[in-house]
Chain A
Amino acid sequence: MSRIEDSSRFRRGQPVTIVVDGERVPAYRGKTIAGALLATGHRAWRRTRHGQPRGLFCGIGVCFDCTVTVNGTTNVRACLTPIADGMIVETGIPMEHQP
């Protein structure tokens, strides 16, 4: 998706790289994981137990639909968690939720 700060009104934070399912994703400090994913065109990242794709829904930390695994910690809300350089993000179904 487009980043609005591409226009001259806003300046970006420092460029950093996060690793999403092994893929290096460029991002800017100040973004949340969900922000970084949406900004690079990722819309769906979680899989439910029934294999359905899910992405950002409530965006304010109440619905828990956007959860990912971050540096090994499961059930982290992508919409609230700020990115950090080298952060390892895994999407899909966390092991303990697999049928």
Chain B
Amino acid sequence: MIEPVEIVVVGAGPGGLSAALAAAHAGAQVTLIDSNRQPGGQYFRQPANELHGEPSRHQREGQALWQQVQSAGVRFWAETTVWGATTEKILSLNGKDVPGTIQAQAIVLATGTFERTSAFPGWTLPGVMTAGAAQTLLKEQRILPGKKILLVGTGPLQLVLAAELVRAGAQVVAVLEGAPIFRNGARHLSALWRQWERIAEGANSWLTLASHRIPYRMGWGIVSASGNQQVERATIARLDDTWRPVAGSEEQIACDTILLGYGFIPFHALAQWLGAIMTWQPELGGDIPVRDSNMQTSVPGIYAVGDGAGVGGAALALVEGEIAGIAAAAQTGHQTGRAAQRIRSLAPALAREQQFQKMYAALFTPGAGLYALGNNETILCRCEEITLAQVRRAIALGATTIKEIKSITRVGMGDCQGRMCSHLIANVIARETGQSVNQVGMLRPRPPLFPTPITAIARTPSEQMEVAHP
């Protein structure tokens, strides 16, 4: 049984909530799906239900938006993953008390991102984790990720996270910013116009770090981590313009936790499966769907918003979500006369956030050196434990694309479906074969997108099984 739905929104972060609200306000029947227990995504992540405490400003904003979404009559399916999708706008679901397969008239993808990492020696040691992991522990669990924390990466989010950790009582040993902001920053100052909240948050974080005398080192990065069974120390170094460590500048720093925050990679698998034409935009995170001014992809009725359609932050996601929600509702027959005018009225907000997005991309896109830190023993594919040496051997055998490397080595065939390693391996192949990352390509995920119990897959109608493998 394929259950028909009018508009489905995948992902309940800022973009998805905003899209669901706009579409429901226009009169559409909206179903919102998220794999988490609670709506909000990473940005609005709420404290776990059973913990009581003062919510932060972002958490209060998220709660207010969620209340509006609920009163607009949006149906919410929590803890539900979309594990398959076909060009007929059919989605395969795994969740409690939800249909196994739905077919929508319009789909808004707000699937967000996952974190860009770097494969340096020691990066698989317990204690090395993403900045997002620390953020989640802090916001949702009220737990510190470690005792002596080193933050490495790029962008103001690292600064904000470091300040939050310090305020929560953690010892932050240093914050390393890979980008040479002072050299490049002045050209982009105009993009900060009317971004007062962001400026205040950044300045506030800076003051917290300064008052605790925490070193903030610009143009520095991680070289390796080491320790017995878990992280005990890091080697750090000054970086050149391409983010390669400068020989002779290395220092050792004692820490039990290393938080990686090198920006984000759009989670675009569903857009790809639904048939959307993709474009390679490294400054926006990598492969993203091509979209028109209504946030519609190349496939009529498939919209994509937020970081998953090009990294740009929560404020941009909110605007894009609203546009897509209005457009999707108009497409299914609601308020068709008013849609164009309403979308036009959002143009100034959209332009302002897009300008900020451009500045962010220009300042905080990591250089190629980030992908050149591994040695032969360094693991590139964490799931299958495939090392750089094994990938090099496959290249020596004549492999030039990521697909060929996958066939030879099993990279990207583990439980994470290449989400963690695809960009690392593509960069290695590009460097060692003299191609661009775009030519090498990324791993194409296959259904099921997430490990899914066979009982859930058995609920898929058999006539759909064939097309479920695009």
A residues contacting B by CB (< 8 A) are 1-5, 7, 9-14, 28-32, 34-35, 38-39, 43-44, 48-50, 52-65, 67, 75, 79-80, 82
How many angstroms from the CA of A55 to the CA of B124 in the assembled complex? 9
Mark interface residues in B133-165 (1 if CB within 8 Å of A CB, else 0): 111111001111111000000000000000000
Complex alpha-carbon distance, A10 and B231, angstroms: 29
| Chain B residues in 8 Å Cβ range of A9 | 53-54
Question: What residues of B have a CB within 8 angstroms of the CB of A28 in the complex?
Answer: 50-51
Q: Is A2 in contact with B416, judged by CB distance below 8 angstroms?
A: no
What is the 8 Å Cβ interface bit string for chain B, positions 32-66, against chain A (1 contact, 0 not)?
Answer: 00011100001000011111111000000000000
Can you list 22 pairs linking A and B with CB atoms under 8 Å apart? A1-B143, A1-B144, A1-B146, A4-B138, A5-B53, A9-B53, A10-B54, A10-B142, A11-B53, A12-B51, A13-B48, A30-B49, A30-B50, A32-B141, A53-B125, A54-B126, A56-B129, A58-B129, A62-B419, A63-B382, A64-B383, A80-B36
The answer for the CA separation of A54 and B42 in the assembled complex, in Å, is: 23
With A5-B53, A54-B126 as contacts: A64 and B416 at CB distance below 8 Å: yes
CB distance from A36 to the nearest CB of B (A): 9
User: Does B201 interact with chain A (Cβ within 8 Å)?
Assistant: no
- List 6 additional A-B contacts (Cβ < 8 Å) besides A30-B48, A63-B420: A1-B146, A38-B137, A38-B143, A50-B385, A57-B382, A67-B415
Q: Which A residues lie within 8 Å of B133 (CB)?
A: 56-60, 79
Whether A43 pairs with B144 at a CB distance below 8 angstroms is no
Q: Establish whether residues A38 and B50, one from each chain, have CB atoms under 8 Å apart when the complex forms.
A: no
Asked whether B141 lies within 8 Å of A62 as measured between CB atoms, the reply is no
Inter-chain CA distance A61–B94, complex, in Å, is 15
A contact residues around B416 at 8 Å (CB): 62-65
Chain B contact residues, majority secondary structure: loop
> Contact: B50 with A14, CB < 8 Å?
yes
B405 located at the interface, meaning its Cβ lies under 8 Å from any Cβ of chain A in the complex: no
Q: Is B169 an interface residue (CB 8 A)?
A: yes
* A80 surroundings in chain B (CB, below 8 A): 36-37
Question: How distant is the Cα of A90 from the Cα of B415 in the complex, in angstroms?
Answer: 19
In this assembly, does B398 line the interface, its C-beta being within 8 Å of a C-beta of chain A? no
Give the one of B52, B126, B415 with max A CB within 10 A. B126
Give the CA-CA distance A65 to B420 in the complex, in Å: 10
Report the separation of the CA atoms of residues A30 and B170 in the bound assembly, to the nearest whole angstrom. Answer: 21
Binding site for A on B (CB under 8 A): 35-37, 42, 47-54, 114-115, 124-130, 132-138, 141-147, 168-170, 229-230, 256, 267, 382-383, 385, 414-416, 419-420, 451
* Residues of chain B within 8 A of A39, CB atoms compared: 141, 143
A56 to B146, CA, bound (A): 11
Judge whether A10 and B50 touch: CB under 8 Å: no
Given contacts A10-B52, A13-B50, A82-B37, contact A59 B134 (CB under 8 A): yes
* A58 & B48 in contact (Cβ 8 Å cutoff): no
Contact A59 B136, CB 8 Å, known A3-B143, A7-B169, A30-B51: yes
Please give me the 9 A-B residue pairs with the lowest Cβ-Cβ distance, nearest first: A59-B133, A30-B50, A13-B50, A55-B126, A64-B415, A10-B53, A44-B126, A30-B48, A35-B141
- Please, which residue of chain B has its CB at the minimum distance from the CB of A5? B142
Is the beta-carbon distance between A61 and B35 smaller than 8 angstroms? yes
Contacts of A75 in B (CB 8 A): 415, 451
Chain A residues whose C-beta falls within 8 Å of the C-beta of B141 in the assembled complex: 30-32, 35, 39
- B51–A55 CB distance below 8 A: no
- Cβ of A78 to closest chain B Cβ, rounded Å: 11
B48 touches A59 (CB 8 A): no
| CB <8 Å contact, B130 and A58 | yes
Shortest CB–CB separation between residue B377 and chain A, in angstroms? 12
| Complex alpha-carbon distance, A75 and B114, angstroms | 20
Q: Give Cα A32–Cα B128 distance, bound, in whole angstroms.
A: 19
- Asked whether B49 lies within 8 Å of A35 as measured between CB atoms, the reply is no
Q: Report chain B residues within 8 Å CB of A58.
A: 114-115, 129-130, 132-133, 420
CA distance A87 to B38 in the complex (A): 22
Tell me the minimal C-beta distance from A43 to chain B in angstroms.
Answer: 4
User: How many angstroms between the C-alpha atoms of A68 and B51 in the bound complex?
Assistant: 24
A37's nearest neighbour on chain B, judged by CB, is B143
For B79, give the chain A residue with the smallest CB separation.
A80
A60 touching B53, Cβ below 8 Å:
no
Asked whether A43 and B385 contact (CB < 8 A) given A7-B169, A54-B126, A60-B42, the answer is no
When chains A and B are docked, how far (Å) is the Cα of A29 from the Cα of B48?
Answer: 9
| Bound-complex Cα distance A31 to B256 (A) | 22
CB-CB under 8 A from A10, the residues of chain B are 47, 51-54, 142
Contacts of A64 in B (CB 8 A): 383, 414-416, 451
Separation of A67 and B144 alpha carbons in the complex (Å): 20
> In the assembly, what is the distance between CA of A37 and CA of B28, in Å?
44
- Point out which of B49, B51, B147, B385 has the most chain A C-beta atoms below 10 A from its C-beta: B51
The docked-state distance in angstroms from the alpha carbon of A30 to that of B54 is 15
Inter-chain CA distance A12–B48, complex, in Å, is 10
Q: Is there contact, CB below 8 Å, between B230 and A44?
A: yes
List chain B residues, Cβ under 8 A from A11.
51-53
Shortest CB-to-CB span from A99 to chain B, Å, is 12
